[in-house]
Amino acid sequence: MSPNSKTRIRRFSPVQRLFHLLLILCFMTQATTGLARMYIETVWGQRLAWVFGGYTPSRTIHIYVGIFMLCIFALHVLYMLSKVNWRKFPGSLFGPDSMLPQPRDLKESIQHFGWLLGMAKAPRFERWGYWEKFDYIGVCWGMCLLGATGLLLAYPLVASRIMPGWGLNVAFWVHKIEAILAMGHVFIIHFFIAHLRPHAFPMDRSMFEGSVDLAATHHEKPDWVARLEETGKLESVLVPEAPGWRRAFHYVFGYCAVALGIFLLIGALVNSLSITW
């Protein structure tokens, strides 16, 4: 097979990949600085904080990267709004390329659970699986919740002018539990499904390269490929494999993120009994 043969389907645009790249960088920074402060009573937490210059600089970085993340999220919302077909609104929100949950997703998730237990045939997924939509909506929900509570905690004097001071106690716990949920979901569930499960192993490069392998997609998302074939769009979305040096870079970057995530997860679990909750 020649290196220029088109064996992959374009799945993500460069803008979408840029959003994901920024999300990875910001999320990892937030996870590390957040855990450094949460675990500051332990040696592990102190070493994490040392990387950023100590407890106070970790807090400063956490706040400013958080604000940057909120700006990126606001840009993403504008980007998504620009992608809506307003002439066919609201029907356009529920097409096969939409990330919004639809009745089909519920049906597919039940059937997929049946397949996992060996009791049903594998569902014929479209462009987005229910777990991918859950991940995406989870990020949006997390950004709103973590962003709002984070701003309240970052600027408590201003926050206490619009709500009673005890609201900060509530905001702190909401922020903490949501952060634990986000880290647990990304470091265990997202990393495993996207990179470590046998079908995706050694790595699903689609979010870095922007394309997925055609043969693998035939197997995993058959309805999407069938729709592209029926509408005659398949040829137009086929792209060649990325050059070797880029693939190598994607592997190194992706596995650095996975390794950091697993390091944070294990460190947090091991030291969880040594901190004041």
Footprint of another protein (CB under 8 A): 37, 40-41, 55, 113, 115-118, 131, 138, 156-157, 160-170, 173-174, 177-178, 180-181, 184-185, 188-189, 192-193, 196-199, 276-277
Contact yes or no for 58/66 (Cβ under 8 A): no
In angstroms, give the least distance from the CB of 267 to another protein: 18
Decide whether 14 or 198 has the Cβ nearer to another protein. Answer: 198
In angstroms, give the least distance from the CB of 79 to another protein: 26
In angstroms, give the least distance from the CB of 90 to another protein: 27
In angstroms, give the least distance from the CB of 19 to another protein: 23
CA-CA distances (angstroms) from residue 259 to 5, 102, 124, 175, 201? 33, 34, 32, 24, 15
In angstroms, give the least distance from the CB of 138 to another protein: 8
In angstroms, give the least distance from the CB of 142 to another protein: 11
Sign of the torsion angle spanned by Cα atoms 63, 269, 132, 213 = positive
User: Which amino acid is it at 93?
Assistant: L
Decide whether 122 or 239 has the Cβ nearer to another protein. Answer: 122
The backbone torsions φ and ψ at residue 120, rounded to the nearest 5 degrees and listed phi first, read -150, 165
Residue 201 and residue 193: Cα distance in Å, rounded?
9
In angstroms, give the least distance from the CB of 81 to another protein: 27
**Residue whose entry in the numeric block shows the structure tokens 């949920």:** 181
239 has which bridge partners? 8
Residue 155 and residue 140: Cα distance in Å, rounded?
22
Decide whether 198 or 244 has the Cβ nearer to another protein. Answer: 198
In angstroms, give the least distance from the CB of 145 to another protein: 9
Sign of the torsion angle spanned by Cα atoms 217, 221, 227, 230 = positive
240 has which bridge partners? 6
Decide whether 94 or 113 has the Cβ nearer to another protein. Answer: 113
Residue 4 and residue 141: Cα distance in Å, rounded?
40
**Residue whose entry in the numeric block shows the structure tokens 């992608």:** 83
Q: Is 209 exposed, middle or buried (0-12, 13-18, 19+ CB in 10 A)?
A: buried
Decide whether 184 or 240 has the Cβ nearer to another protein. Answer: 184
Decide whether 196 or 238 has the Cβ nearer to another protein. Answer: 196
Residue 249 and residue 277: Cα distance in Å, rounded?
39
